[in-house]
Structure formats: C-alpha cells, structure tokens
Amino acid sequence: MLNEKMEKAFNDQINKEFYSEYLYLAMKSYFVELNLQGFVNWFDVQVQEEHAHAMGMYDYVHERGGKVELLAIDKPEVEGKTPLEVFEQTLKHEQYVTSRINALMDVADEVKDRAALSFLDWYLKEQVEEESNVGGVLASLKLIGDDKKALLMLDKDLATRTFVAPVIG
C-alpha cells in the first residue's frame, strides 16, 4: 500500500508527465508549421514517450493499491521562435523533469518506500538519456547556425527516430 504522501507525490508527477506530453505536442505543432517533418517526427516520439512515462506511474500507483487523481494540465507555452530556441526550452524542461524525479525519490526515501525507489530508478536513468538526446540535437543546431541546408540535413536525420515502448520498472 502506498503511503499517503507518496501517493500525492506520484499524482503530482503523473500530472507533470502529462504536461510534458502536452508541451511536446505544442512543440510538434510549431515544427509542422515550419514543414520540418523530421523535427515533427522527433517531437512525435517525445509525445509518445511522455505518455508512456505518465502511464507507467499511473499503473504503478494502482498496482500499489493507491488512487490516481488526474489533475488539470496547464496550457503549454512554446517560448522559442527558432528551432534552436525551442530545443533550448526542451533541454530546460527535461532538466526540470529530472529535478521533479529527484524530488519524488526524496519523498520515497523520506517515507522509506524502497519499492518506489526501485521503480523510480528507471525514470532517473531515462532522464539522463533524455537530457543527452536533447543536448545532442541542441549541439547540432548550434553548429548549424543559419545554414538552411544543414538544417534540412538534420531534419532528415531526425526523421529516422522511432518510438520504442519502454519497459518501465
């Protein structure tokens, strides 16, 4: 059975994961408008990943006998006006999510929920991968600068990314 504090913390994080899905859907829309289909694909994969992350926690709360409370999702704001700025926002968001996973692990540690700590270890490792993935695209965008041909080459490369359903936990 989940501790009440742990259950509340998971419900808050489930909301943050669904917000991430919503934010990346908005970013995907930004790239649809630019007709950069590889970037559209990259964000489509992100949308699917964030949904899977939220559902992994959703299922975990139920598995532990807890109650899922779906909270309102804030309206996402795409702050960037260029692909580079959108990916800077993406990295900043992933770093925020990492801090939230760490905070969730702090709650699990505080209430001595070893099962939750074990479960959340996967999410922490996933965040390292997420930040690295975004950082790689961001580094490429910085190298590209204003070179439209290079941007189109990167777009073509990003089109090859595929979603692989994660095995969480």
The average confidence (pLDDT) of the chain is: 97
User: What confidence score (pLDDT) does residue 90 get?
Assistant: 98
Q: Taking residues 37-48, what's their average pLDDT? A: 98
Decide: 97 and 16 in contact? Cβ < 8 Å: yes
Q: Taking residues 143-154, what's their average pLDDT? A: 98
Domains of the chain from N-terminus onward: 4-158 (1.20.1260.10)
Q: Taking residues 12-30, what's their average pLDDT? A: 98
Decide: 37 and 95 in contact? Cβ < 8 Å: no
Q: What burial letters (b/e) apply to 104-116, b meaning 16+ CB within 10 Å?
A: bbebbeeeebeeb
Q: Taking residues 143-151, what's their average pLDDT? A: 97
Give the pLDDT confidence of 57-100 residue by residue, as tens digits.
999 999 999 999 999 999 999 999 999 999 999 999 999 999 99
Residues of the chain with pLDDT > 90: what percent?
A: 99
Give the pLDDT confidence of 99-132 residue by residue, as tens digits.
999 999 999 999 999 999 999 999 999 999 999 9
| pLDDT above 90 for 169 | no
CA–CA dist 28, 47 (Å, integer): 9
pTM for this model (two decimals): 0.96
35: left (phi over 0), alpha (psi -120 to 50) or beta: left
Q: What burial letters (b/e) apply to 45-84, b meaning 16+ CB within 10 Å?
A: bbbbbbbbbbebbbebbeebebeeeeeeeeebebeeeebb
